[in-house]
């Protein structure tokens, strides 16, 4: 797709700092570097996001994820890693070519704040929601 920045990176029109490449996927350093080593893993075939991926494409991309994540962690000396995927604008997606963020974590004060709410779960509501979702899995 000519106007897609990631497709331009894949084609070599725009430079990138590649960390992994094969016939199906590309991984390169994110120019924002949320933390040192922040890497993006993308399919070479243009697809808007994970919600639009075929099962085969998802297998191709996600099967490379552990290998690239371990390499990033080892090279940076990170103690952990957030693996983040945003789908659609409301979820924070800004580049509409599927991509997975590998964000190395060094300590609790490295610039990322993910908060989880803690409250007593409503198991009845959770059960109903699980049933609704399960009906949609095809």
The model's confidence at residue 113, banded by pLDDT at 50, 70 and 90, is confident
When pLDDT is cut at 50, 70 and 90, the band that residue 72 belongs to is very high
Section 76-102 average pLDDT: 97
The percentage of residues in the chain with a pLDDT greater than 90, rounded to a whole number, is 86
| Catalytic residue (one of 38, 97, 99, 101) | 99
pLDDT digits (tens, 9 = 90+) for 12-37: 999 999 999 999 999 999 999 999 99
CATH of domain 5-136: 3.30.428.10
Q: What is the pLDDT of residue 114?
A: 78
Please tell me the predicted confidence (pLDDT) of residue 49: 98
pLDDT above 90 (res 131): yes
pTM score: 0.91
What residues does each domain of the chain span?
A: 5-136
**Three state DSSP letters for the chain:** CCCCHHHHHHHCCCCCCEEEECCCEEEEECCCCCCCCCEEEEECCCCCCHHHCCHHHHHHHHHHHHHHHHHHHHHHCCCEEEEECCCCHHHCCCCCCCCEEEEEECCCCCCCCCCCCCCCCCHHHHHHHHHHHHHHCC
- Quick check: 138 pLDDT over 80? no
**119 catalytic per annotation:** no
């Amino acid at each position: 797709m000519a106007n897609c920045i990631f497709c331009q990176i894949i084609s070599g029109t725009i430079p990138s700092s590649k960390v992994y490449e094969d016939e199906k996927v590309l991984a390169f350093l994110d120019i924002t570097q949320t933390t040192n080593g922040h890497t993006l893993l993308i399919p070479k075939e243009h697809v808007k996001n994970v919600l639009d991926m075929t099962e085969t494409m998802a297998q191709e991309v996600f099967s490379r994820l552990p290998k690239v994540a371990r390499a990033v962690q080892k090279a940076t000396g990170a103690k952990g890693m957030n693996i983040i995927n945003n789908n659609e604008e409301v979820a924070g997606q800004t580049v509409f070519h599927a991509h997975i963020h590998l964000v190395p974590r060094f300590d609790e004060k490295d610039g990322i704040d993910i908060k989880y709410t803690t409250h007593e779960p409503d198991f009845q509501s959770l059960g109903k929601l699980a049933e609704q979702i399960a009906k949609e899995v095809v």
